[in-house]
Amino acid sequence: MSDRCKYCVCYFLYWLFLFLFLKPIFLLFHWGDSSSFSLGDWLGVVYHGLPMDLSTAGYFSALVVLALSVSAFFDENRWLDRFIKGYTYVALSLAVLVVVADLVLYSYWGFRIDSTPLFYLKTPKNAMASATAGQLAGSILLLLVMFVAALLIFRFMHKRLFKIRGRNVFYLLPSLLFAFLIVFFIRGGLGVSTMNAGRVYFSNSVFLNHAAINPVWNFIYSLSRNDTFEGRYVYYSEDRTAAYFSEMVEPAADSTTLSLLKTPRPNIVMVILESFGSTSCEALGGKKGVMSNLSSLASEGVLFTRFYANSFRTDRGLVALLSGYPAQPTTSLMKYPNKSQNVAKFPLSLKKAGYDLSFYYGGDDNFTNMRSYLVMSGFEKIVNEDDFSSEEMSEKWGAYDHALFQRVMADLRQPQGNAPFFKLLLTLNSHEPFDVPMHRFDNEYLNAVAYTDSCLGAFVSNLKKTPFWDSTLVVLVADHAYRYPDTLSGSDEVRHRIPMLWLGGALRDTLRVDTVASQIDLARTLLSQLDIDASDFKFSKNIFGKDSPKFAFYAFNEGFGMVSDSTVSIYDCGAEKSLLEMDSTLTIKGKAYLQSLFDDLSKR
């Protein structure tokens, strides 16, 4: 192995072992939180955090790998020695500063460090006001000790290994390999999803999940995002906004006007259907023959005819459905574990009421921090693409939907125990690139939806044959709609209208519900039917509430829509103008709603 190759490998390992060593340091520093966990839990922190440590080591090694490649063309390489030393000294300084700040701040904030401290540094006197002289001195001492220790280790390694002399064009081939590995580690693999905080989540304990996060990675990553929610979308005074918002939330003493269930604790099977929009659903007046199974089942259950998605992406739809929390125009709450951990989640409410929770998805559950959100929602069993055979996988996203439904049915045929169960399924194949093993429509989207609908029909048919059908509620709902036909714009009201259908032997009767509602209303509506407290779901409304406000809010890129029984208002926040305004009062309420949403986000 050439001198350049040896140095490249060892430099990367230097950073990797440094970050690995920080895991037990964090656990020991926060002994009050970590002492109750077993050695296996501690090892789990190190093991599950390894991919993020590899990613961070890749970031810190990238420039040195590049410099080593460039040096292969030069006879004189004294500049390389100076560059590597200077770069490493600066990188170490920044990394240790972030690490020490994280160690100290975690006790107060309860989440790993991100760009938040930078906002407080605008007023350094106030930022330091809460710290005692002893705390400041201790932090500075810890900073110096860690920096000196890491620096001495680097200098020892560099002195022994830096023996690079002269040019070596033959190094170009291994340099390409190193470059590939660096990118591989930085991305976290070759899959669709890139490295994110959710990738390291592995436990029901928030602390253990946080301990697995690399603080330097988390800080760097947060700098690339706009995490500032405070002060955005401000339209009115606090009092005026609060007055409008009070008219759009569930009254504290509201009561349910309709009881749909025959049993107080039914089993619940919830199927979230990828990209199922009303324009391709015959039961909602859409194109015939696409969702033929869902449409035929509509007469057997409770069909919600004026139901809306709160956004246009799966990650936002999941939070809207499970947390009753509205989507935002330019971001996704799921991408901020430090905030998403603080919102209510109805699966967690079910778990506290005695339900067993399972989640099934044929794709990568690390995508957009999904796994961290699911774990914090109480799901103990999570089935993902790793649980399917290669024959069951599509070319792009993951397992075919028929394999997903078959897996769920296989599990349902096993003994379920005495506790009621909640099984959540998220389908996949009606997402681009619409890779499905069926051809019925020339339009790829319609063909993919028809395929998933056929899988759904077979699943419900099999479910009816099980002994627990009479005590089961099936909830079918889309994560968001799709731009079909392509003449629709991303802001159109029809673009966000989706099907929701309740089925199962646990229902008293069939019903057609024409009330305007949206995904965020599912949480309070379902919990109210189960007589489970839903007061934590601030934005959610009971669709069957006697005095519940009847409207739907949805967000699109830099804008929002408000739908009432008879009017629609669509507002472009970037352009600061209405795209459609049938009622100016609805626009005003929409602005107040958005302002209240971001005010709530800034405080979580």
Q: In 71-210, which ranges are E strands?
A: none
Of 463, 469, 488, the C-alpha closest to 561 is 488
Confidence of residue 205 (pLDDT cuts 50, 70, 90): confident
Tell me if the bond preceding 215 is cis, omega within 30° of 0. no
Give the pLDDT score at 225.
Answer: 63
Beta-sheet pairing, 568-572 with 577-581: antiparallel
Give residue limits of the domains in the chain: 3-223, 249-487+496-550
Mean pLDDT of the chain: 90
Q: Which among 355, 386, 367, 380 is positioned nearest to 530, based on CA atoms?
A: 355
Residue of higher predicted confidence among 419 and 366: 419
- Mean predicted confidence (pLDDT) in 197-204: 83
Residue 420 is predicted with a pLDDT of 97
CA diameter of the chain:
84
- Segment 488-531, tens digit of pLDDT: 888 999 999 999 999 999 999 999 999 999 999 999 999 999 99
Q: pLDDT for 70-91, tens place per residue?
A: 887 777 778 889 999 999 999 9
Alpha-carbon gap, residue 31 to 585, rounded angstroms: 54
Q: How far apart are CA 71 and CA 49, in angstroms?
A: 33
Query: What pLDDT digit, counting tens, does each position of 329-388 carry?
Result: 888 888 888 888 899 999 999 999 999 999 999 998 887 788 889 999 999 899 999 999
- Cβ-Cβ contacts under 8 Å for 596 (sequence gap 6 or more): 241, 242, 245
Asked if omega into 499 is within 30° of 0 (cis), the reply is no
pLDDT (0 to 100) of residue 453: 98
- Confidence (pTM): 0.80
CATH classification code of 249-487+496-550? 3.40.720.10
Query: Contact, 292 vs 453, CB < 8 A?
Result: yes
Q: Is the pLDDT of residue 97 over 90?
A: yes
